[in-house]
């Protein structure tokens, strides 16, 4: 073997021993960078100007309290109507924790329950089948950390998507785990998920009990009732005034919830008359 060839082989082995190696053979070390401007450079441009990502800013007091709870608790429940920023705030804190080195990975999961009629069989591998459920949360991650950072993290396995049904028997250490649409979990699924929590991890469970798509008793409601007083667990409730998506969304949600409440009162009154 020539001296030049041996030197090149040793250099290649050294690069392969480092973490966070992209397919372009560029090392991306999330834990050593002091900035949020990490990216996967292309072969055409190895040193593009860094894009500074603005840190997350809470849009109201409710979001500020929610993000503060994520920093100080192990298991956080985020409850409330659509448009309050539950997923957005969670994604921001998850991306921040990964880049700062507080965790080694972000794990996203949710019950594979669809709203309304089922789409039926989805072609492709397991991660491709689950991608429609992950796309909204992925968009939130990109908004807070940049597309390059998130794509590199997914490519390197630092961000993974796991179906809830496949989590039994696993333990998550030094991970930021997110369970979305938790109102569609059964009590057994919720118990299984919460008992996966390992050391140095943060777990956020988000859901809206008014948007339950399963007929049985919601595991989210059951979990809160059972565990709200456990040390390290925090339950945060958003309200109508915390909706930041748009004013019209707030009005629409209030119309639907008001109608459902009146219908429930009508049914209760009818049963009392019988």
**pLDDT tens, 48-67?**
344 455 567 889 999 999 99
- With b meaning 16 or more CB within 10 Å and e meaning fewer, what string describes 68-84? ebbeebbbbbbbbbbbb
Say yes or no to pLDDT of 123 above 60: no
Task: Give the pLDDT score at 208.
Answer: 93
| 26/189: higher pLDDT | 189
Strand partners, 236: 78
Say yes or no to pLDDT of 116 above 80: no
**pLDDT tens, 79-98?**
999 999 999 999 999 999 99
Task: Give the pLDDT score at 86.
Answer: 95
Chain mean pLDDT for the chain: 78
Percent of the chain at pLDDT above 90?
Answer: 49
**pLDDT tens, 137-176?**
999 899 888 999 999 999 999 999 988 988 999 999 999 9
Domain 61-259, CATH: 3.40.50.300
Average pLDDT over residues 189-193: 96
Question: Nearest Cα to 67, choosing from 35, 104, 76?
Answer: 76
- What pLDDT band is residue 41 in, cutting at 50, 70 and 90? very low
- What pLDDT band is residue 37 in, cutting at 50, 70 and 90? very low
DSSP letter for each residue of 100-143: HTS-SEEEEE-----SSS------S-HHHHHHHHHHHHHHHHHH
pTM of the model: 0.74
Q: Domain ranges in the chain?
A: 61-259
What gap in Å lies between CA 132 and CA 266, rounded to an integer? 38
Task: Give the pLDDT score at 13.
Answer: 52
Task: Give the pLDDT score at 250.
Answer: 85
């Amino acid at each position: 073997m020539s001296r030049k060839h041996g030197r090149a082989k040793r250099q290649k082995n050294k690069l392969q021993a480092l973490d966070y190696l992209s397919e372009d053979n560029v090392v991306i070390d999330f834990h050593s960078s002091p900035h949020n401007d990490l990216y996967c450079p292309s072969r055409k441009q190895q040193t593009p100007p860094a894009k500074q990502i603005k840190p997350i800013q809470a849009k109201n007091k409710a979001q500020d309290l929610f993000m503060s709870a994520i920093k100080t608790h192990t298991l956080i429940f985020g409850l409330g109507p659509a448009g309050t920023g539950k997923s957005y705030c969670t994604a921001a804190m998850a991306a921040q924790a990964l880049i700062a080195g507080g965790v080694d990975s972000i794990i996203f999961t949710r019950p594979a329950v669809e709203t309304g009629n089922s789409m039926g069989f989805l072609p492709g591998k397991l991660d491709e089948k689950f991608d429609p459920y992950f796309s909204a949360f992925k968009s939130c991650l990109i908004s807070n950390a940049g597309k390059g950072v998130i794509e590199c993290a997914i490519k390197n396995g630092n961000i993974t998507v796991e179906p809830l049904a496949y989590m039994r028997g696993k333990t998550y250490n030094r991970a930021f785990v997110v369970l979305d649409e938790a109102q569609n979990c059964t009590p057994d699924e919720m118990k299984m998920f919460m008992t996966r929590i390992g050391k140095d991890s943060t777990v956020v469970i988000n859901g809206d009990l008014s948007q339950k798509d399963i007929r049985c008793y919601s595991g989210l409601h059951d979990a809160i009732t059972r565990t709200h007083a456990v040390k390290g667990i925090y339950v945060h409730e958003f309200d109508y005034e915390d909706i930041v998506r748009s004013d019209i969304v707030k009005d629409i949600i209030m119309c639907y919830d008001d109608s459902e409440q009146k219908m429930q009162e009508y049914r209760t009154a009818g049963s009392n008359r019988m």
